[in-house]
Amino acid sequence: MDLISLILCALFVVLIIPAITSTVYHQYVLRRKLKNIPQCGGFPFGVAFELIKLTDYERVQWFVQRMLHFKEGIFIHWLGTKPLINLYKPEFLEIILPSTVNIEKGQPYEMLHSWLGKGLLTSTGKQWFHDRKLIGPTFHFSILDQFAIVMSEKAEILTKCLEREVAKNPGKAINIFPFANNVALDVICETAMGVDVCAQEVETKYTATIHRGSKLILERLFRPWYWPDWLYNLVPSGKEYKSGLNTIHKFTREVISKKKIARQSRNGYAKSENEDDDIGKRKRKAFLDLLLDQNEKDEAPLTDDELRAQVDTFMFEGHDTTAVAITWTLFLLGNNLEHQEKVHEELEEVFKDSKTPASVKELSQLKYLDRIIKETLRLYPSVPTITRKLAEEVKIGDYTLPKDVTVVLGIAFTHINPQVWSDPKKFDPDRFLPENSKHRNPYAYIPFSAGPRNCIGQRFALLEEKTILTAILRKWRVKSVKKSDEIQYGATLIFRPCEDIFVHFMSKK
């Protein structure tokens, strides 16, 4: 044996064998701790290859079947050597979500760090508590009134775009998702950054890159071998993703830089006492402006990179989620015409012959539309699952979950769990009448999560959905081309349709 072969053998004995032995031992210990929990997927690959062969829709059905099979409300599926503990029983979610200790998001969210940095979605520990406290005031009720004006303006542009599409192809069904996506992107760009990207009129490089970046993340999610950044950066999709991030980050940094220069040029401008009431006489403030206001008062202000991470986070979280919620609501109304008729009756009662955009006060009167949106978010929650990496051992029912494992909180599966909801697939907005909700476990319905890490923008999202849906339904009745059981969807980062959602728009006159 030559010297090089001898050295390689020595390295194998000294480095590789101990590493393999350590991995096998830790797997043995971990699996012993989890042996009492129902599970699927063996060592070393788990169910990765089984899931990778499935379409997004088939993957959802795979999880639904296991939810129905494992009636205990808990099961583990292994991805590679990592156990993911699925919970979909309200009583189990109620143990995890209120915790102020188990707030770290876990493995899947680590893939978002390159895009979102340590923004509010991905940060943890002291930084998360600091940032949540800093950002909270930017979503005050009085601020939402300002954002509502932007939402109304973008909704008006949307109705004009739809009018053109209806006139161009009379009687032809329209794929609603791209329209919903573009109006939501328009809203979030102007409310988050104060930039009008005109997404409904023309696709810019920035908006196209956001769409593509989201898709690449979804493709990576179920390929565990692409999880290590060093490897992903070497493959073509990883290189494309990195190039896209450069475009997104450059855009956000330029906006932040311009905002800061503009603020400095005001030379210590002092806000008048009645400025908050003087919305019509001044330029509206975007989330970034409000964040900079808060940042200047803070004892530990955010750096430019941290500001960029927060803005990118709201851009990422604030358009796709709302777009799918609007899409699914129109789709379900188009499939449940008796419920849609009640919505139109409510709209007539509130708006009568008025042609002016809906005010926040008028929107608050639309109680039936509220229930429609809630029932839509039960059946199609925009964010179907969230994860937590446990910082401490947790006792759940008869099971003990060890520290450092990742739990998957199945919002979508809790929402259709037949042990929680009667006839769970039926569209029934009256589930959310006060008398039908009062005895329900509060964790049975959590479309915006719950506990300290609940969605900070949920009032913003609901206001946007109501504004846009109202603008559409005041002009048209809608009828879906396909039935609910004919449409395929995927529950990855968001509850996204896997195909076009075609809807007929019929004049109310």
CA-to-CA dists, residue 228 to 51, 108, 132, 134, 449, angstroms: 19, 11, 29, 32, 28
CB 287 within 8 A of CB 193: yes
Interacting residues of 226 by C-beta distance below 8 A, sequence separation 6+? 220, 232, 235, 237, 238
85 forms bridges with which residues in the sheet? 76, 407
CB 466 within 8 A of CB 292: no
SS3 content of the chain, % helix, strand, coil (to 5): 60, 10, 30
The residue behind tokens 């009008």 is 196
Looking at residue 444, the DSSP 8-state letter turns out to be: G
242 exposure class (CB count in 10 Å sphere: 0-12, 13-18, 19+): middle
Is 455 among the annotated ligand-binding positions? yes
Which sign does the torsion angle of CA 358, 360, 365, 366 carry?
positive
* Distance of alpha carbon 236 from alpha carbon 336, whole angstroms: 44
- Write out the DSSP string of 69-113: H-TTSEEEEEETTEEEEEE--HHHHHHHTT-SS--B--HHHHTTH
Structure tokens at 223: 């390929």
* Distance of alpha carbon 220 from alpha carbon 238, whole angstroms: 9
* Distance of alpha carbon 180 from alpha carbon 167, whole angstroms: 19
CB atoms within 10 A of CB 71: 13
Looking at 202-319, list the stretches that DSSP marks H as alpha helix, in order from N- to C-terminal side.
Answer: 205-221, 229-232, 236-265, 287-297, 304-317
How many residues are there in the chain? 509
Annotated binding site: 455
Annotated binding site for heme: 455
